[in-house]
Structure 1
Amino acid sequence: MDGMFATIWLKERDQWGQFPPATKQFGVPAEQRYRLWHVQYQIFINRASLLKWDGHQFSGFRGIGLSAPPGYVAKIKLEELGVLASGSYTASEGFKLVALDRLEGYVVEKLIGLQTIYRIPTELRNRISYIKEPLFNADWHLVFSHQFMSDHAEIAQGVWDGLADVPMEERQAIFQRYSDLYSLDVDREIQ
């Protein structure tokens, strides 16, 4: 693989990929001009849940746990907060367990979550909502392999510079149009 997106920077990810210049602080929007988008990782819950998140800590936690897709930063965050469920679930599995009240929550980027919810049976979909306060916000980046950077550093930098030339407002507008196409109805439905 020469590159991949969308990826959130973590120090350990530097081992397998080259991130755009100066993006090396998770949660700090350094060199925002190189990011693809700024996104929210929502906590999807059962409508009957009493789970709350104030941006710093959970209340109403029953001890069942929350989950996120394997390999996601969200899973690391849940573990750090001491609320990670013992099982590992794909988004589709996680949402079904949330709907059946066998998992307290599932964390994924909002658009991905809404698209996944759209594909599960309506009777389950109608049991899911999300907490307004996201677990965290993050910048998504285009990452190149070290081999590609070694062989084509100028091309990679040119791609990043080309991205930086697109005003942030235009990038967010593109992301919002894409979001609206696939998620507006589901978002209204589960709120």
Structure 2
Amino acid sequence: GGVAQAQGDWTQAESVYRESLALSRQLVERLGGTPASLRDLSISLDKVGGVAQAQGDWTQAESIYRESLALSRQLVERLGGTPASLRDLSISLNNLGGVAQAQGDWTQAESVYRESLALRRQLVERLGGTPESLDDLAVSLLNLAGRPGGDPAAGAEAAEIYRLLASRFPSTVRFVHQLQRLSAKLDGPVN
């Protein structure tokens, strides 16, 4: 599915992701809803939701993302808030926020983006600022900065994070690119 998606073949991507989703549902039934099978189901839902979102099927994307979000919340509760389960929950929240934002529902988008941001701040604290946790935090900050009447402090904080990541990991193109993009948006160098 990922290859088809990267090539822009949404029909093939959806077909493969839906097949994976069906298999994930079967595994949950057979295994009795183990944490691993529930996580796999949540990820499969996110993939199908991503295709629906890319195709502008907001109703379908929202429905699928809400199911994934419910599973993510269940896993956080069952696993006691492990870093992996909290990260998965933050991703589910961001996915739902993206759909709300695309539909112009900024109140809903901001609500789930803020919940995701709180989780990501918690993860940075718990994990000591790993590259992944800092990148995730910056993404959440950018989600809040990018809304109408956005939060300029959130954009500035994201720029600081990408400045730090780009200096620590200059060969990671994504960090350098994000820093350059933010520099252009903030009308001046952020390095």
**TM-score normalised by the chain length of structure 2:** 0.26
- Which one scores higher on RCO, CA 8 angstroms, separation ≥ 6? 1
Higher helix share: 2
